[in-house]
Amino acid sequence: MQILNSLVPIFSVIALGMVLRSQAFLTAETTQAFNRFAYFFALPLFLFYKLASALSGSGSANLILNTLLTAAVLTAVVSWLTTRIIKVSAYERGAIIQASFRGNLAFIGLPLVLFLIYDLPTDQKEAIESAVLLALAPVVLFYNVGSVVALAVYHQKTESNVSFGSLAAAIATNPLIWACVGGALFQIMAWPLPTAVVRTCEVVGASAFPMALLGIGSQLVSISIKGKWSRAMIPTLIKSIVCPLIGWILGRLVGLAGIELFVTVILCAAPTAVSSYVLAEQMDSDADLAASSVVICTAFSLLTLGVLLSLAETF
C-alpha cells in the first residue's frame, strides 16, 4: 500500500507533465515559468511556514542531517573512484560525480516523505517533518557547492573560467536556504505567525509540488540521452543503490531507527536533480551525459523506490 499511496501519486504527476509537454499543452516557456514559481515562491513559502510552526527541539534532526551529508560525501568518493577504475574521461567525470550524489530532495524526496508519514500520529508526524525540513537547507547547500567543485575540476575549459564569486552569490540568494533559516528562526524564538500569513503560505505553498512535478515531467520529455545511456547507468546505479545503502549503514551507526531511518534512506535514494543538467551545461561539462543521467536515474528510481517502500514494514 505504501507504493500505491506514496510513490504512484508523485510519478503520476511527473507522467502527466510528460504527456502535456508531448501534446504541446506545456511548452518550454510555461515549464520554465512553473519551475521558477515553484523554486522561488511556492516551495520557500511552504518550507518557511512549516518550519515556523513545527515542533521545536526535534531530537533526530541532527542525526538525519549528519547521515545525509556524510552519505553524500561518501557517495561522491565512490563515484570518483569508480570513474578512475573504469577510466572515464575527465570531461565526463564531473557530470558523473555530481549526478551520483545530488538528489532531488526538494521536489521528489520531500513530497514522498510527507506522503509516507501522513497517517502517523500527529506528534510523531510533526517531529519527523520538522527534522527533515531542518536538515534540508544544509544538504541543499552542500549539493550546490559540491556540484560546482566537481564540475570545476573536471570540465572542458580551465578552472580559471569558473566564477566562485558567482557561486557565492547564488548560494547567498538561494530562496530555499533563506526560507529554512527564516522558518527555523521563528521556531526557535517561538514567534507566532499571523493567521493571514499562515493561510497565504498554505495556499501558495500547496502549489509547490504539483507545479514542480509537472515541470520535471515536461523537462524529461525534452531531454535527449544522445547515446549516453551506458555512461549514465554509472551515476544511476550509484545514486539509486549505493547512496541509500550508505545512508542505511550510517543511519544505523548514528542511532537512527524505525521511521526516522526509513525516511533518511528514502531521501538518499531520491533520483538525480534536474538542476544538475542545467549546471553541467553552464560549466562546460558533459551536458548530454548529465541530461541522460537525470532521465535514466528518474526512471530507474521508480523501481528502487518501489522496492524500498515494499520494505517499509522492516524499518
pTM, two decimal places = 0.87
Domain 2-314 has CATH 1.10.40.60: no
The CB-based long-range contact list for 142-148 (8 Å cut-off, 24+ gap) reads 142/69, 142/72, 143/72, 143/101, 143/102, 143/103, 143/105, 143/273, 144/170, 144/171, 144/174, 145/171, 146/72, 146/73, 146/76, 146/98, 146/101, 146/102, 147/98, 147/102, 147/276, 147/279, 148/279, 148/283
DSSP summary character for residue 160: G
> Going residue by residue through the chain (315 aa), what tens digit of pLDDT does each one get?
667 788 889 999 999 999 999 999 999 898 888 888 988 899 899 989 888 887 655 568 889 999 999 999 999 999 999 999 998 888 889 999 999 999 999 889 999 999 999 888 988 888 898 889 888 878 988 898 888 888 888 765 544 445 566 667 666 777 888 888 888 888 888 888 899 999 999 999 999 899 999 989 998 888 777 667 788 999 999 999 999 999 999 999 999 999 999 999 999 999 999 888 877 877 778 888 988 999 999 999 999 999 998 886 665
Residue 114 and residue 226: Cα distance in Å, rounded?
35
Q: What's the gap between Cα 278 and its chain centre?
A: 14
